Amino acid sequence: MHDFIITRALLVNGHQVDIAINDGKITAVSATIAAVENNQIEPPFYPAKKVLDLAGRYYLSAGWIDSHVHCYPASPIYHDEADLVGVASGVTTVVDAGSTGANDIDDFYRLTRAAKTHVYAFLNIAKTGIVTQNELADMAQIDKQSVSQAIARNPDFIIGIKARMSSSVVGKNGIKPLIRAKEIQQENNQLPLMVHIGNNPPDLDEIADLLTQGDIITHCYNGKPNRILTPAGALRESIQRALKRGVLLDVGHGSASFSFEVAELAIKQGIYPHTISSDIYCRNRISGPVHSLASVMSKFFTIGLNLEQVISCVTENAAQALRLSHKGVVAEGYDADLTIFELKQQPQVFSDSEGKSVTGEQYLVPLAAVVAGDLVLTDEGKLKDVFSL
């Protein structure tokens, strides 16, 4: 007897599948051959304790992963609740991007244990995390020993390190915090390094030339002068070199870091994001322009990405970048983390971080998250009756 079967699920490639789940893992995936007669569902994995029939009407993908959020509730600047940015929005896994440093990472870990959403962290190289906006203006804040000890204490929670490399954060230190971050990375098993880019100094060319394979540039489509495109609209040579070395581009939308104009120019040149993330916290979730990961994902339909490309950026691409080898794919043996959603075909107005609005013709509506085999309905309560088991 299986714990849970989802039948007639529509994948983004148009195929329908039936999925069997046991003990929080996907145990089988089969092309749909279910017979539905007189409301009696008989999927190929029958019998099961619970059966959810999506009737070929609703999409299903691996669970969405938001690789850049801020969800440490005790943070004085950027804070939120993991489940509000997670399962309530169809997101099964979130990664906090540097809200906490070595001083408070243990408290953050403790708080996340009560969440239904899977929560991981990029550890801020500054021991205080983001308590102020200039955490890297004092090099004494970067204590390599404290960072290594925190990683050793939380090896399954801290999946990378974070350095915010913009003028308001580093002050007069320029590129020095990033040099220190690369040293920390080398001393801690080459954990992924996420680098925030914004206003200069340091100049983006200095930043990019220090990055190596697997490092992540977040806020990649920001509209600030220190951006990935030259004034003429071409990709900076330093970013070209970085991408050839295997450096990854992450969206990190946020309140001030996403420009439709920059994203559209880049994507027309084939400069695609490896991961789409929200940089969400309570203020930009409630008041915009972020609102949710689904909203950020939907914006990319207006600038040249199709459904399969968008979903890849929050599933398999994200899992690979974050080294979450057990997530991101709908296949036997992977975690039973899934997102059920609709693709609505109607006009929707989207705003970027520069105050520009664009009308799209379609948008994503997350309906439910499956986390380790447990079904959690999103805030789209209109379909609760559909998902009654």
**Of residues 62, 64, 31, 28, the one with CA closest to residue 48:** 28
For the chain, what percentages of helix, strand and coil (3-state, to nearest 5) are there?
Answer: 25, 30, 45
pLDDT score for 47: 79
Average pLDDT over residues 124-146: 97
Q: For residue 274, how many C-alpha atoms fall within 13 Å in the half-sphere facing its CB? A: 20
**Pairwise CA distance, residues 286 & 291, whole Å:** 6
pLDDT digits (tens, 9 = 90+) for 190-240: 999 999 999 999 999 999 999 999 999 999 999 999 999 999 999 999 999
Burial class from Cβ neighbours inside 10 Å (0-12, 13-18, 19+) for residue 323 reads exposed
The domain spans of the chain are 2-61+333-384, 63-322
* Architecture per CATH, 2-61+333-384: Roll (2.30)
Burial code (b: 16+ CB inside 10 Å, e: under 16) for 217-240 equals bbbbbbbbebbbbeeeeebbebbe
- C-alpha pair distances (Å), 176 with each of 140, 170, 190: 12, 9, 19
Report the percentage of the chain scoring pLDDT > 70: 94
Own/partner pairs, 180-188, CB within 8 angstroms, 24+ separation = 180/125, 180/139, 180/142, 180/144, 181/125, 181/142, 182/210, 182/212, 183/144, 184/125, 184/142, 184/144, 184/147, 184/148, 185/161, 187/144, 187/148, 188/147, 188/148, 188/151, 188/161
Question: 36 versus 285: which is more confidently predicted?
Answer: 285
Q: What is the mean pLDDT of the chain?
A: 95
Output the pLDDT for position 381: 53
Q: What is the pLDDT of residues 54-80, one digit of tens each?
A: 999 999 999 999 999 999 999 999 999
Amino acid at 350: F
What is the SS3 string spanning 130-177?
Answer: CCCCCCCCCHHHCCHHHHHHHHHHCCCCEEEEEEEECHHHHHHHCCHH
Q: Which neighbouring-strand residues pair with 158?
A: 121
Cis previous bond, 347, omega within 30: no
Q: Using the predicted structure, report yes or no on whether residue 258 has a pLDDT greater than 80.
A: yes
**What pLDDT score was predicted for residue 38?**
43
What is the C-alpha to C-alpha distance for residues 324 and 319, in angstroms, rounded to an integer? 5
pLDDT band at 141 (very low <50, low <70, confident <90, very high): very high
The pLDDT value given to residue 35: 47
**Architecture of domain 63-322 in this structure:** Alpha-Beta Barrel (3.20)
Beta bridge partners of residue 196, listed in sequence order: 164, 218
Average pLDDT in the 281-286 region? Answer: 98
Q: Percent of the chain, pLDDT > 90?
A: 92
* 103, 107, 110, 116 alpha-carbon torsion, rounded to 10°: -100
φ, ψ dihedrals at 384, nearest 5° = -60, -35
Mean pLDDT of the region 155-175: 98
- More confident position, 120 or 2: 120
Dihedral of alpha carbons 325, 26, 82, 224, sign: positive
> In angstroms, rounded to a whole number, what is the distance separating the alpha carbons of residues 269 and 309?
16
Q: What is the Cα Rg of the chain in Å? A: 21
Model pLDDT, residue 383: 56
Q: How confident is the model at residue 136 (pLDDT cuts 50, 70, 90)?
A: very high
Q: Provide the CA 35 distance to its chain's centre, in angstroms.
A: 37
Residue 119 has a pLDDT of 98
pLDDT over threshold 60, residue 12: yes
- ∠ CA 326-75-259, rounded to 5°: 70
pLDDT 10s digits, 83-100: 999 999 999 999 999 999
Q: What is the pLDDT of residues 363-374, one digit of tens each?
A: 999 999 999 999
Q: Are 114 and 87 in contact (CB under 8 A)?
A: no
pLDDT of residue 32: 72
For the ranges 27-31, 348-352, 377-381, the lowest mean pLDDT is seen at: 377-381
Q: What pLDDT, on a 0 to 100 scale, did the predictor assign at position 387? A: 59
Residue with more model confidence, 388 or 76? 76
For residue 356, what pLDDT band results from cuts at 50, 70 and 90? very high
SS3 of residue 97 by DSSP: strand
